[in-house]
Chain A
Amino acid sequence: MPWRVLRQIATVGIITEPAPAPLRVEPGDRATAPADPQVREIHREILAVLGRAIAIRQVDAGSCNGCELELHALTNPYYNIEGLGIKFVASPRHADLLLVTGPVSAHMEAALQRTYEAVPEPKRVVAIGECGCNGGVFGESYASRGRVANVVPVAVEVPGCPPAPLEILRGILQALR
């Protein structure tokens, strides 16, 4: 058994791809132009801002689960985000950054606020997906508060339905700037 596992690992090899550049965000703009892809530069920036690896707590505040699929994809070997010094954690108290998906449903409003309050300072919020940016197809209603920024302060918005893993990664890196 172990040799089969090892053979599979050796056969596939290392498939991790170079990391992307951060999203470049001008005030009032959500442009997605990539710049120079430098993993070492990303490491340097993360260390400069936080002094350690970055810990992310994800909150689904009412999404259709499409964004969750792409967040899961971000943890696959192609993107290897732990190799960049980024990891998802189980508690907001361990987190530097909140990744929030979905329009914020009325039923998740309080849970999102409490999660935000539980993250120690300094903290940033990245809103993921069209719904997180502007409410998406669900908009605002008796059951939906719309964009994440309507409920907690947002540093970076990553549009897309859902945004591809690289777009999400760019948004995370942008939030560290």
Chain B
Amino acid sequence: MSPVDSSPSPASGAVLPGLDCAFVRLAGPLPMHRARVNRAQWRAAPSAVRSMGGRLIALWGIDRRNGQGHFAVACCYGVGAGLVWLDLPLEEATPADQGAPIPTSYPDLSATFPAAARMQRALADLTGLQASGAADTRNWLRHAAWPADYFPLRREPSGRERFAGADEAYPFVTVEGDGVHEIAVGPVHAGIIEPGHFRFSVVGEKVLRLEERLGYTHKGIEKRFAGLSLERGAPLAARVSGDSTVAYGWAYCAAAESLSRASVPARAQWLRALALERERVANHLADLGALGNDAAFAFGLAQFSRMREDWLRRNAQLCGHRLLMDWIVPGGVRTDLAPQALAQIGAECDALEEQVRAIQAIYDGHAGLQDRFAGTGCISAALARQLNCTGLAARASGVGSDLRADLAWAPYDTLHVNAMRAAGGDVAARVAVRFAEVYESLRLLRLMARDLPPGPCSEPLGAAGANGAGAGWVEGWRGEVLVTLETDERGLLLRAHCHDPSWQNWPALEHAVIGNIVPDFPLINKSFNLSYSGQDL
């Protein structure tokens, strides 16, 4: 464990009862704890977390053979007390661990947390570390563009190696029976969409099974972080998923500040939240329009895309970028807002809310639209819990957290966010949550513009600690975004892991389409609107 993590956590038992390990509290506005564990503790953690109603957030591997010695795997759980970051160095077997396998394998998590399955497969592709006992060991992020024995996140490869691509024969699960046939879609889709492959097994129009094949936009982001300074990593993190650039920018900068134990001016935290809510509104407006369009109501798309364009143009005036990219920087934000611009935000939010409410009245009263939305693409609350669904998709099934409400950090602690939930778990519920979240974000924006504290909007980050660790955790519009950072002995990035909420929600989409008709898939898919790039890295 790194020497920077030295602030003791007095009641480590309160973090994760039943797990006897020494937690240290990480610096940062949200409660985040980290502990080094052995294999027995790693194995015991999933059921302890499950019994507390917790969830698996992220899983990744690290090559620390640069001095400290070992491969390691790490995972983060979300529990009532906050974030729990477990780090398992893959040392030789301990006495308590008789017969433990070779030190490139670690105990499987997917038996308790199905969400771990794809993360474990990705971890194996990138680092060559295997989850022992995992049911599914097919490759996930690696297709056939590099050899199976090339592990980009190990120390030895520079990352600049180039291999001849080949066609991949991926073993999809096949469905057999009378009248069953397959529909293969992608990776190039019919619209302006990110690439991915969907394999439907159908009878007539009814979907029996959907299997996703992702990884097409894998562009080696995590390897690219290696060796960068904390400052230089920020623009890369801001491009993990362009539609969540504020969430990633904030999460990355919070992680860098956590690692450096840097303080951020209050005004900067408020401005970051202002940007995050503007991003939420922009994305919800786009989705509400697109959902109307996918149900053959083009009027909705025209109206919402007009509102979104107004909103993005205002972003450019306020912060110099339509999507607010790179506005959040380590230590604060790049530019302050002009007082006269701030003074207008309240009235702009009022005007937008009035427009959105007018279209919502039309959506709500449109029988054809509601017929397509209601009962389509259902995820039950139990399934959402089982799959660790996150963000608005989980809240539309009546479960899931909203970090802004549950672990409110500044400025959300004084704004008192209302987490928006719906019960149906269908497309209609995901539409309803989006409408509700637009209004809630507009309320927050009015308050932020009114009560923005004075002072500077950034402070120098200071020197990054050597062998440090830090985490940043933000409730983006799609769900929780987590960035974890580790530095090497020079204070440069040894490992940066960016976790997208889409990891948890993509498997839920496979369940949501079961029993629906093929023509409803675009609508169901859009109602989740998951990131390919954020998952593929």
Contacts and interface: CB of A to CB of B under 8 A. Distances in A.
A139 B224 contact: yes
Contact of B194 (A1, A68, A138): A68
Given A76-B305, A111-B188, A140 B160 contact: yes
Nearest to B197: A111
Given A1-B362, A106-B145, A142-B152, A66 B163 contact: no
Interface string A155-171: 00000011010000000
Given A73-B309, A108-B187, A162 B299 contact: no
Contacts of A177: none
A162 B532 CA distance: 17
A63 B220 contact: no
A141 B159 contact: yes
Given A9-B299, A63-B242, A106-B146, A164 B322 contact: yes
B195 interface: yes
A106 B218 CA distance: 8
Given A58-B192, A141-B220, A142-B152, A73 B146 contact: no
A164 B53 CA distance: 44
Contacts of A73: 305, 308-309, 312
Contacts of B187: 107-108, 111
Interface in B141-194: 143, 145-146, 150, 152, 157, 159-163, 165, 167, 187-188, 190-194
Nearest to A104: B219
Given A68-B242, A106-B146, A111-B188, A144 B219 contact: yes
Contact of A77 (B143, B193, B306, B365): B306
Contacts of B216: 62, 105, 107-108, 111
A65 B243 contact: yes
A161 B325 contact: yes
A91 interface: yes
B151 to A, nearest CB: 10
A138 B192 contact: no
Bin the interface of chain B by size.
35 or more
A162 B323 contact: yes
Contacts of B193: 60, 68
Contact of B242 (A64, A88, A142): A64
A91 B190 contact: yes
B533 interface: yes
Interface string A14-44: 0100000000000000000000000000000
Interface in B321-355: 322-323, 325
B139 to A, nearest CB: 12
B192 A142 contact: no
A10 interface: no
A107 B218 contact: yes
A69 interface: yes
Nearest to B223: A141
A63 B531 CA distance: 11
Nearest to B321: A161
A138 B221 contact: yes
Contact of A76 (B167, B190, B308, B532): B308
Contacts of B359: 8
A103 B245 CA distance: 18
Contacts of B161: 142
A157 to B, nearest CB: 18
A72 B306 CA distance: 11
A141 B219 contact: yes
B463 interface: no
B479 interface: no
A65 B194 contact: yes
A137 B536 CA distance: 16
Contacts of A105: 216-219, 536
Given A142-B152, A142-B223, A143-B219, A162 B308 contact: no
Contacts of A4: 361-362, 365
Contacts of B110: none
Interface in B187-213: 187-188, 190-195
B425 interface: no
Interface stretch (B26-34, B233-241, B390-398): B233-241
Contacts of B157: 142
Interface in A101-159: 102-103, 105-111, 115, 136-144
A59 interface: yes
Nearest to A67: B242
Most buried by B among A65, A68, A77, A90: A65
30 contacts: A4-B362, A8-B362, A12-B306, A15-B306, A58-B192, A62-B216, A63-B533, A65-B241, A65-B242, A65-B532, A66-B325, A68-B242, A69-B243, A69-B323, A70-B322, A92-B188, A105-B217, A105-B219, A107-B145, A108-B195, A109-B145, A111-B187, A111-B195, A137-B239, A140-B162, A141-B220, A142-B152, A142-B159, A161-B239, A164-B322
Q: Which 3 A-B pairs have the closest CB atoms?
A: A66-B242, A106-B145, A143-B220
